Amino acid sequence: MYAPGNIDSEALRIAKNCRHYAMCKIDFLGSGICASGLEKQYVSYFPQGRMDLYAAICEKAIPVTEQCVEIADSCNLCGKCDYQCYFVTEMRPSIVMKALKDYVDDYLANGGDIVPVPEDPILAEMRRIVGHFWATSDPAIGIAYHHDLCPHVEFKMPQYVVMPNSKEELASIIRLLNHHEIPYVVRGNGASAHGLVFSEGVVLDLHRMNTIEFDEKNWLVKAGPGVAAFDLQSAAARRGFRVHTAEPAALVCANIMTSGLLSTFSTTYGISADNFIDAEFIARDGSLFSLNDMKSPNLFSYQNLIAENEAFAICVSVSMKLHPVTSDERGILVPFKSLADALDFARECSIRHIGLAIGILGEEFISSFIAPTKRLAAEARDIFTRRLGMPYLVLLIGDTYALRSVNEMGYPVIDQGLFKTLYQGLPSLGSAKWLDLLDELADDEPFSYLKLGQFGDLAEMALAPSPAQMASDIDPDLRPFFEKLFQRPEMTDLVWLNTFRIQSARYNREKPTVGLVFYLPIDTALIIEIEQGLLDIAAKHHLKGAFGFITPFDNGKRCVWEYDYYFDHNDPDDMAKIQQAAHEAGALLDEYSAQTGTVRQVRYVVNRGCCRKENLLYT
Amino acid sequence: MEGESGRSIILTGATGFLGAFLMSGLLERGYHVTVLGRPAKNMRLSDRISGLVGWFGLDPGPRLSAIEVDFSKKHLGLDDETYGDLCANAGKVIHCASDTSFAERNRKQVMQANVDSLPSLLDLAVDSRAEHLYYVSSAYACGQCTGLCMETPIKNQRFTNVYEESKAQAEEIIRRSCQDNDVPLSILRPSIVYGHSETGRSLKFNALYYAVRSMLLIRDIFLNDIRQGGGKSKKWGISLDDDGILNLPMKICLPNKGSVNLIPIDYFVATVLRIIEHPGTSGIYHITSDNPPDITTLAEYAQRFLGLRGIDVLWNQSGKNANPNPAEELFDKLFEQYRPYLSDERIFDQSRTRSIAPGISAPPFTYEIFAQCMTYAVACDWGWPLDHSV
């Protein structure tokens, strides 16, 4: 094999730090998507895949193949990936894109051979079903489906990657694979929290099955398995609706099936079976059935056990509920000095049906969401926790009546206007000495200064917020783009930001995480005890553990909590630690589950995402 | 611990503002001082005290020692031997430790520090047969009242805040204990203490300093706005005049005229030393000013120091500004807890103090003293001076 003389170490570092969020597959900034990815659809044609490909050829894990050359060639170095990736991770993938092109050019110029990938009979058969381009055994394609950041599974290189375009094509492929006894998995977008997406056989990428059909009179939208949350939400918003979605790049069908779909909007829209009206599946024998069939299996049931790794069927469409949106929806942040106080407030709101979406955000989420760079995130963490004494903020989205209720409850709040000021004035916050005075002199009611009628004006005068200031910490060459981006009203609109969640992946900007997600009662003593247990495990393994968020739902009877362990996926020691820590944390939560009968881990929901929340939580 | 009779002093609160200056004064006068206190964060008491001694430029050698204690525990949490040694060489005891928070939300912490911790301190006074116990209270322990406040035990039950209340309770507990156990007692009641009248040096920047700091920060907010175009400032008639002075129309509304009783730390120390060194000094002493400035004077000083004009003090019955601009609203909020002290009608009798310390009085609070103190505070960024090269 050709030995390259000059590997770009910075490019390799960036490539190996790709977070696999698939944010480069959705147009979440309105900047457009990688043109070749849009056309060729395989992950390897997107920046995320090119990152994996570059790392793999540098490390000689795969040879230079025909598709490798095509992938490198097809990048026009437009730089859109820099905008997208920088927004989330502060990384510059265009450095990798350029390095990949240079590598391949250099390789070919130095007489390197393009290693042929022969077509075997099974591949030929699959190509007859889906079309020649949409089934491949080229490792340059397979490499992008070979691994992710899930630390506790063995990665596998698929022999084939297939992209069917319809449920009929998918059914035919499944029947073919069954006939040849070839294992397969379905791959959604981005990183897999549970690591169930690897196969030595076939990876089925359903990205092309991305139809969206609205049935407004029945308040539903039918989405194919390749539809990402952001795209579905955008389509719904254009028609004046909202759907309940989670991470923007997550494929909606996969998200429901693997986690039951939860977000801060779960307060109103619920979880699991609350989210949809119907769903269609292809069973392992290739037959089609839907949830509403009288003879279909009872997918609403739930057992508190780890599911088999293989899915019972593949979800090929889901009919999501459409929700009404009112023009007076606004977001507020309610600060708290303690988790106990934040829980009391969130519980109270949930019981009284105040607010559409509620989330208790810990310091990691607050700081990483609000800050466009890591440096500012660290500064924001210090400002909110130490200087302002706000380690917890409760996000509440609600209409006029809901926000009036919070006001009548007497809580000081950061309203939409003040949020915009703090957000766009973040770079000035660090040197704003008056903040210290506010906390020092806060009288008997914490944060009572927020109740000053003109506090918003004062903050605006003090911080001089602007899109330019917000972009001031960003790499100089990207600043003009971001300045323009930050001018857009939705970029400071708490409702939009929480509906589309484009900042949510930022909490992994510093390091990837293993998120421990579980349901439990809003029992302050229990929550504080579990938090200490999870923190002790993190400390034992010298990992960072942090409170993520808690959302109350089902009239305040339960909440969902994400607690995160941070690790470096490129550090073998950290990988060993995180595996052990995640195992111990899972065992701890199992103990609480057995002890209380009320704690449920989302990892048990995998392949049972259709279950009724009543079965999941109360049986 | 060694020390000649009458020259040994146990001091609490030496890491605080008043206590530290008192420690310095005692050491300069040749006393042997044993400091009792707690470690802080990651710093031992002895290190904290060493830092302070260095800041004062002192080299007391073996005349100063520090013992870490826990006032919530019997025998201060010390082992029998250490406690026995402490008692054997106690001499006089000055209890200066105090939590000065006014906030009701800190009630538990204030009561714990100022009242609940007293039994172990009083046990020490009894067990050591202390020559004399001096309790540093506050002139404002007298509670809400008007007119002349005498140097007598407190009978009032109405207080402006938890600090005043705790000091009144503490006085009563200490007085009874000393009476029951024949420990000679002096209660020292300073008013509001600011920095050194000659050097401006201070260790704490609350009270008067808060007001100036609040105004300075309000000034900076508007200056920042004016630098950005000043749209909002204009709306409120706030502008930067040609002479570089910020025109900041700001009404400070107070219910009635009164004064702010301020004394410099050097006057406090000099008076306390005089009381300590005067034979037969049991009693209550007001360490206050004869000629306290009113808020109008202080507002003028602040304007001059900060480069402001437009601040106006108004007297009305409610003491509230019905339609405040953002600057007024923020200042009122920032200074809320100190508001009752801005139009104080209490006058403090000083007969006993005068009789012991004739010729010593608080200097008039001139602009020069004010500016010197505030310049020092700014140099310290209103924080712990030992963290700054000042």
| pLDDT over 60 (residue B2) | no
Residue A50 lies in a domain: yes
- A434 interaction partners in chain B (CB closer than 8 Å): 217-218, 220-221
Could you tell me the pLDDT band of residue A607, with boundaries at 50, 70 and 90?
Answer: confident
B222/A455 touch (CB, cutoff 8 Å), yes or no: no
pLDDT of residue B3: 40
Could you tell me what percent of chain A has a pLDDT over 70? 96
Q: Dig out the tokens for B127 from the structure.
A: 């067990």
Shortest distance between the Cα of A448 and any Cα of chain B, in A, equals 9
Residues making up chain B, counted from first to last:
390
- B224 interaction partners in chain A (CB closer than 8 Å): 461-462, 464
Shortest distance between the Cα of B86 and any Cα of chain A, in A, equals 37
Closest CA to A370 of A325, A331, A329: A331
Question: Which of A86, A109, A132 delimits the end of a domain?
Answer: A109
By Cβ distance, the residue of A442, A444, A454 closest to B326 is A454
Give φ, ψ of A162 to 5 degrees.
-130, 140
A441/B333 touch (CB, cutoff 8 Å), yes or no: yes
Sheet holding B246-254, edge to edge: B239-240, B246-254, B308-315
The 10 Å Cβ neighbour count of residue B291 is: 11
Give φ, ψ of A263 to 5 degrees.
-160, -175
| Spatial distance between the Cα atoms of B364 and B290, rounded to a whole number of angstroms | 9
List the domain range (segments joined by +) for residue A44: 9-109
A441/B104 touch (CB, cutoff 8 Å), yes or no: no
Residue A4 or A271, more confident: A271
| pLDDT over 90 (residue A392) | yes
Shortest distance between the Cα of B385 and any Cα of chain A, in A, equals 17
Whole-number mean pLDDT of chain A? Answer: 93
Q: A525-564: per-residue pLDDT in tens? A: 999 999 999 999 999 999 999 999 999 999 999 999 999 9
The 10 Å Cβ neighbour count of residue A288 is: 15
Chain A and chain B share a number of CB contacts under 8 A equal to 68
SS3 B232: helix
DSSP string of B14-53? TTSHHHHHHHHHHHHTT-EEEEEE--BTTB-HHHHHHHHH
A444/B335 touch (CB, cutoff 8 Å), yes or no: no
Q: Tell me which chain B residue has its CA closest to the CA of residue A446.
A: B105
- A446 interaction partners in chain B (CB closer than 8 Å): 105
User: Parallel, antiparallel, or unpaired: how do β-strands A558-566 and A544-553 relate?
Assistant: antiparallel
Its pTM stands at 0.87
Q: Dig out the tokens for A69 from the structure.
A: 């050359």
Q: Looking at the complex, does the CB of residue B228 fall below 8 Å from at least one CB of chain A?
A: yes
| pLDDT over 70 (residue A619) | yes
Shortest distance between the Cα of B366 and any Cα of chain A, in A, equals 26
Residue A305 or B92, more confident: B92
Shortest distance between the Cα of A456 and any Cα of chain B, in A, equals 9
Q: What ipTM does this complex have?
A: 0.77
The dihedral through the CA atoms of B382, B386, B388, B389 has a sign that is positive
- A386 interaction partners in chain B (CB closer than 8 Å): none
pLDDT of residue A148: 84
pLDDT of residue B6: 55
Q: Looking at the complex, does the CB of residue B217 fall below 8 Å from at least one CB of chain A?
A: yes
Question: Which of A109, A136, A165 delimits the end of a domain?
Answer: A109
pLDDT of residue B223: 93
Residue A53 or A507, more confident: A53
| Spatial distance between the Cα atoms of A398 and A409, rounded to a whole number of angstroms | 14
pLDDT of residue A584: 97
DSSP state of B139: G
Shortest distance between the Cα of A334 and any Cα of chain B, in A, equals 19
Could you tell me the pLDDT band of residue A420, with boundaries at 50, 70 and 90?
Answer: very high
- B337 interaction partners in chain A (CB closer than 8 Å): 441, 443
Query: Terminal CA-to-CA distance of chain B, rounded, Å?
Result: 33
Mean of pLDDT values over A579-606 = 94
- B221 interaction partners in chain A (CB closer than 8 Å): 434, 458, 461-462
A444/B329 touch (CB, cutoff 8 Å), yes or no: no
Q: Dig out the tokens for B109 from the structure.
A: 């912490």
pLDDT of residue A210: 96
pLDDT of residue A310: 60
A461/B330 touch (CB, cutoff 8 Å), yes or no: no
pLDDT of residue A309: 53
Q: B194-205: per-residue pLDDT in tens? A: 999 999 999 999
- B330 interaction partners in chain A (CB closer than 8 Å): 449, 452, 454-455, 458
- Out of A92-101, A265-274, B210-219, least confident range: B210-219
B217/A444 touch (CB, cutoff 8 Å), yes or no: no
By Cβ distance, the residue of A444, A449, A464 closest to B228 is A464
A441/B329 touch (CB, cutoff 8 Å), yes or no: no
Q: A124-177: per-residue pLDDT in tens? A: 999 999 999 999 999 999 999 998 888 877 888 999 999 999 999 999 999 999
- B227 interaction partners in chain A (CB closer than 8 Å): 464
CA A67 to each of CA A36, A62, A106, A114: distance values in angstroms, whole numbers, following the listed order: 12, 12, 16, 9
| pLDDT over 80 (residue A195) | no
Q: How many domains does chain A have?
A: 2
Q: A76-130: per-residue pLDDT in tens? A: 999 999 999 999 999 999 999 999 999 999 999 999 999 999 999 999 999 999 9
Determine if residue B91 is left, alpha or beta; phi over 0 gives left, psi from -120 to 50 gives alpha, anything else beta. left
Q: Provide residues of A within 8 Å CB-CB of chain B.
A: 433-434, 437-438, 441-446, 448-449, 452-455, 457-458, 460-462, 464
pLDDT of residue B1: 36
pLDDT of residue B343: 84
Q: Dig out the tokens for B219 from the structure.
A: 């000034």
A461/B326 touch (CB, cutoff 8 Å), yes or no: yes
Could you tell me what percent of chain A has a pLDDT over 90? 83
Q: B104-161: per-residue pLDDT in tens? A: 888 999 999 999 999 999 999 999 999 999 999 999 999 988 889 999 999 888 999 9
Burial class (CB in 10 A: 0-12, 13-18, 19+), B148: exposed
Q: Tell me which chain B residue has its CA closest to the CA of residue A438.
A: B334
DSSP string of A338-395? SHHHHHHHHHHHHHTT--SEEEEE-HHHHHHHH-SSHHHHHHHHIIIIIIS--SEEEE
Q: Which residues of A512-550 are buried (b: 16+ CB within 10 A; e: fewer)?
A: bbbbbbbbbbbbbebbeebbebbeebbeebebebbbbbb
B335/A441 touch (CB, cutoff 8 Å), yes or no: yes
Structural domains in chain B, CATH included, are 8-190 (3.40.50.720), 208-258+294-341 (no CATH)
| pLDDT over 50 (residue A1) | no
A448/B333 touch (CB, cutoff 8 Å), yes or no: yes
User: Parallel, antiparallel, or unpaired: how do β-strands B32-37 and B132-136 relate?
Assistant: unpaired
Closest CA to A22 of A84, A83, A80: A84
Closest CA to A450 of A346, A328, A335, A339: A335
Question: Which of A70, A88, A109 delimits the end of a domain?
Answer: A109
Residue A238 lies in a domain: no
Q: Looking at the complex, does the CB of residue B24 fall below 8 Å from at least one CB of chain A?
A: no
By Cβ distance, the residue of A434, A445, A449 closest to B221 is A434
Could you tell me the pLDDT band of residue B5, with boundaries at 50, 70 and 90?
Answer: very low
Q: Dig out the tokens for A411 from the structure.
A: 């809580």
Mean of pLDDT values over A275-293 = 93
By Cβ distance, the residue of B227, B233, B334 closest to A441 is B334
| pLDDT over 80 (residue B258) | yes
Q: Looking at the complex, does the CB of residue B176 fall below 8 Å from at least one CB of chain A?
A: no
User: Parallel, antiparallel, or unpaired: how do β-strands A288-290 and A357-361 relate?
Assistant: unpaired
Q: Looking at the complex, does the CB of residue B334 fall below 8 Å from at least one CB of chain A?
A: yes
Residue A301 lies in a domain: no
Beta carbons of A356 and A267 less than 8 angstroms apart = yes
Which of the residues B330, B380, B381 would you substitute to probe the A interface, choosing the one with the greatest number of A C-beta atoms within 10 Å? B330
pLDDT of residue A113: 94
B105/A437 touch (CB, cutoff 8 Å), yes or no: no
pLDDT of residue A3: 55
Q: Tell me which chain B residue has its CA closest to the CA of residue A442.
A: B334
Which of the residues A461, A463, A469 would you substitute to probe the B interface, choosing the one with the greatest number of B C-beta atoms within 10 Å? A461
Tokens 């509920």 locate to A321
Helical H segments across chain B, by residue range: 17-28, 45-56, 80-88, 107-111, 118-127, 162-181, 208-227, 231-235, 265-277, 295-306, 326-334, 351-356, 367-379
| Spatial distance between the Cα atoms of A245 and A263, rounded to a whole number of angstroms | 7
User: Parallel, antiparallel, or unpaired: how do β-strands A313-321 and A184-187 relate?
Assistant: unpaired
Q: Looking at the complex, does the CB of residue B330 fall below 8 Å from at least one CB of chain A?
A: yes
Closest CA to A66 of A116, A17, A32: A116
- Out of A294-298, A377-381, A391-395, least confident range: A294-298
Please name the residues in contact with B81: beta carbons below 8 A apart, sequence gap of 6 or more. none
Q: Looking at the complex, does the CB of residue B205 fall below 8 Å from at least one CB of chain A?
A: no
Could you tell me the pLDDT band of residue A191, with boundaries at 50, 70 and 90?
Answer: low
| pLDDT over 70 (residue A202) | yes
B222/A461 touch (CB, cutoff 8 Å), yes or no: yes
- A433 interaction partners in chain B (CB closer than 8 Å): 217, 220
Residues making up chain A, counted from first to last:
619
By Cβ distance, the residue of A444, A449, A461 closest to B221 is A461
B330/A455 touch (CB, cutoff 8 Å), yes or no: yes
A458/B333 touch (CB, cutoff 8 Å), yes or no: no
Q: B237-247: per-residue pLDDT in tens? A: 999 999 999 99
Residue A191 lies in a domain: no
B330/A453 touch (CB, cutoff 8 Å), yes or no: no
Could you tell me the pLDDT band of residue A189, with boundaries at 50, 70 and 90?
Answer: confident
Residue A169 lies in a domain: no
| pLDDT over 60 (residue B4) | no
Q: A15-44: per-residue pLDDT in tens? A: 999 999 999 999 999 999 999 999 999 999
Q: Looking at the complex, does the CB of residue B232 fall below 8 Å from at least one CB of chain A?
A: yes
By Cβ distance, the residue of B218, B232, B333 closest to A460 is B232
- Out of A204-218, A318-332, B287-301, B333-347, least confident range: B333-347
The 10 Å Cβ neighbour count of residue B372 is: 18
Q: CATH number, domain at A467?
A: 3.40.462.10
A464/B326 touch (CB, cutoff 8 Å), yes or no: no
Alpha-carbon Rg for chain B, nearest whole angstrom, is 22
- A447 interaction partners in chain B (CB closer than 8 Å): none
Could you tell me the pLDDT band of residue A430, with boundaries at 50, 70 and 90?
Answer: confident
